[in-house]
Each structure stands twice: as C-alpha cells, then as structure tokens.
Structure 1
C-alpha cells in the first residue's frame, strides 16, 4: 500500500506543479487515490518553497520586489494551471449566458476581457497581501501561515469532488471523482491538520477554510450545478487569496 501512496504523491506533484519529476506513474485506481490523499502535502511543499524564498530575500531585496518575486514563483510552480481555470470561470460568469453557453465559454481557448481583468486584480491582491506580510515585525511566525495556505487551498478540491456532482461524466474532474472515497478526504485533511497542531495559532486559518468552502459550494451549485476542472482550479486560486486575506486580518486585528 505504501508503494501506491508514494506513486500517488509523485502523480500529485506532476499534476499540481511544474516541478520536474522524471518518473512515470501508472494512471490506475490505487495511484489516483494516493494522489488525491497527497493534495495537501503538495500544498505544504509549495508553501515551504515560498517561505524559503522569503527567508532568503528578506534582508536583500525591498519588500515590494520580494512580494512580486514570491507571487511570480507561486505562479511558476503551478505553471499557471489553476490561474487558467480561474480565468475560464471568470469569462463564463461574466458572460451572464445560459448554463449551456457557460460550458462552451469555459472550453473556448480564447481569453476574454473578464478573464484578463480577473487575473490582473487577482494577482495584484496576492502581491498586496504578501507585501503586507513581509512588512510585519514578526515575519517568521507568519511564514507558517504562508506554508499552510497552499495546503488548505488544495484540500478544497477534495471536498468539492466528494460532495458535489460533476457537470459531465467525462474529463479529468470526473476521473478524479470516480476514484475518490471518504478515506482520501480524511487522510488528506488529517495530514494538514496535524501540521497545524505544531503551530496552534494557525488553527484560525484551518477553520476559516470551512467557511470558504461553505459559501463556495453554494455559489457553484447556484451558477453551475456541478464542478469541472476549471472550477477546481479556480477554487485553489480562490482559496489561496482567501488564506492571504485571513492572514492579513490576523495581522491587522490580532497582532496590530
């Protein structure tokens, strides 16, 4: 069983990041389930890389440049995969078109004005929030928040896949959902939750993601009646921005 979880972890890294891992993993039930259970671990690795980058550059570069560099690395690590999903969803929602037309818009490789505007504001807010974190006097404790934000954000797709229907009985989201069980959701959540126990003050962030999931679920069912790959990618990007917002609130109202 351990072999399948290791292969699953590698598969999750290959799918969720652009970190080169030249190992061929079989696309089969056990490795797919191992990948789903590893979503949170992949997030912890991404967050760890960001925290290391901040630590290295903190005393070398000005704050605004560090913030821009961190968000650049953030996008680079995922190859813009989730950002692409966010942009497709933005075009679909911005069109105010019927449901069937929204699906066509999300499949369209052309980028519309709503997608461009959403990407600009999304990345600008990310840079702004990261800059606010860097400017604090207690940066090191806050880095643990930053490590956890990508991890919590990658748990959101697990809950969406488990509890919501897919739009079509085809595609990547359908393949993930077909093999997902409650076991993978529990394992993925437990791994990240145990990490928060090492730094109990991050529990605030952990529970805030249940609030995010609650409202995201309502919004998805109202607008799309189900999920697809684009919505899963958008949920990760939205989750990361939500985590940075909660961290900023913590800085302003608790630490301030």
Structure 2
C-alpha cells in the first residue's frame, strides 16, 4: 500500500501541477506504481474539471464556462503535454531527416509549426467542449473517461513500443515497467466505464487511436519518447472529444 501511495503521488507530481509537497522516493517499485497510476491521475483531473463546472455553471455563460474549463485543463497539467505537442509539430513540419527531427524536438525554442499546432488544438478543444455543453450538460462527464483513457494509452505505448533512445525520460520509465502492469492501469478505466456506460463508444475509439498512433510513431520516429507521449495525451484528448461530439450529434441525435 505504501508503494502505491508513493507511486500515485509521483504520478501526480509528474503529470500535473496539483501541489504535492511530500517528497516521494524514486525506485523501481514506486516508478512502476506511478505508471500504473497514470489513468488514476486522469480521473483526478477529470473530476476536478467536472466539479468546477457544476459549481460555477449557474453563474457563467456557456462560452465563459468553456474558456474557464480549457484554462483549468491547461493549468492543471502546467502545459507539460502541450510542450511535447509543439515540439513534435515542429519536427514533423520540418520534413527533415530523422536525426534532424530529434534535434528539433530537443530545441527549447518553439517554431512556427508548433505555434500553429497549439493554436488549432486549443481552438478545436474549445469548440468541441462548447458544442458538447450545448447538446447537454451531462456530456461533461465524458471528460473524466477521456482524461483517464488517454493516460492509459501512454502506458500502452510505453509498454509495447521501443524507446527512440537508450537515454531520456521515456527510457527511464520504460526500464521499470512490465506488461503485467497494464492490468493495474486498466482497472480505473473499467470502473469509470461501468458508471459512465453511455460513453462506451470511447473504448473502441481509443483502441483504434493507439494502433494508428503507434504505427505512425514507428514509421516517422522509429520509437517513442517523452514528447511523443505528451502528444498522445493531447491528441488523444482531442480525439475523445471529437468522438463524443460525433456520436451524440449524429448517432444518438
């Protein structure tokens, strides 16, 4: 139990800006539990966003609420995954050889492709959240499952894809994880699906997302790294919002 608590707190410290002042030990067991806890951290973030919505919803217009939720969404993660999204966009947009792409991703400066990619990502997330709220306030609960499942996707990618380099953060995480750890990571998502079964469509949708994203990563980069995992989270969240909007607008509508 102690290792689980340490691991969960490590995951919170790494994936969010939620203040955790406790100094957690880093070792093989705590790092494994941290990875197992990625979806659990997603649940925490999703609950914070949904709770904020229901507290402030009576006092704000739909547009103001949407902008507030997007701001909170970015603030809770400190833009960590957005940084990876921009780095990958700069690398892909360069059309450079593989080695040059890795150099671009390491560059602390953001290029034009990264800025454009960030702009469109936030615009699309904002529009989709606004559209979901217009369809029905209950669809806000989909964010809980979306945030948990996208972080489960990063665990799957880290387990089944090789890391691009032997050094780096992704390689450090991968060194301490095994395929059996995926069973622990899946549990929070399964529990949420039981209670939010109206969003069951997201499970096969994310299954496809992991497959195609993983194939693209191997073709374009020959392996995974921290920026590509961050991109999986940002792209996965956008994918989930899009799937829910399409499903409740055109299938259930």
Q: TM-score range by the shorter chain?
A: over 0.9
1-side partners of 2:186 and 2:62: how far apart? 33
Moved over 3 A (4+): none
2:166 corresponds to which residue? 169
Give CA deviations for 1:41-85 in whole Å, capped at 9, x if unaligned: 000011111111221222211111111110110000000000000
2-side partners of 1:250 and 1:54: how far apart? 22
2-side partners of 1:254 and 1:175: how far apart? 43
Give CA deviations for 1:137-192 in whole Å, capped at 9, x if unaligned: x322x232111111001011111111111011111100110011112211111221
Unaligned 5+ runs, structure 2: none
1:8 aligns with 2:10: no
The within-5 A match list for 1:1-256 is 2-136=1-135, 138-140=136-138, 142-256=139-253
SS in 1 for 2:200: helix
Q: CA RMSD in A?
A: 1.0
C-alpha contact (below 8 Å) 2:88/2:105 kept by paired residues: yes
C-alpha contact (below 8 Å) 1:193/1:206 kept by paired residues: no
Q: CA deviation at 1:103?
A: 0.3
Q: CA deviation at 1:218?
A: 1.0
2-side partners of 1:84 and 1:199: how far apart? 31
- So what's the TM-score if we normalise by structure 2? 0.98
2-side partners of 1:229 and 1:248: how far apart? 29
SS in 2 for 1:182: coil
- So what's the TM-score if we normalise by structure 1? 0.96
C-alpha contact (below 8 Å) 2:11/2:34 kept by paired residues: yes
C-alpha contact (below 8 Å) 1:10/1:25 kept by paired residues: yes
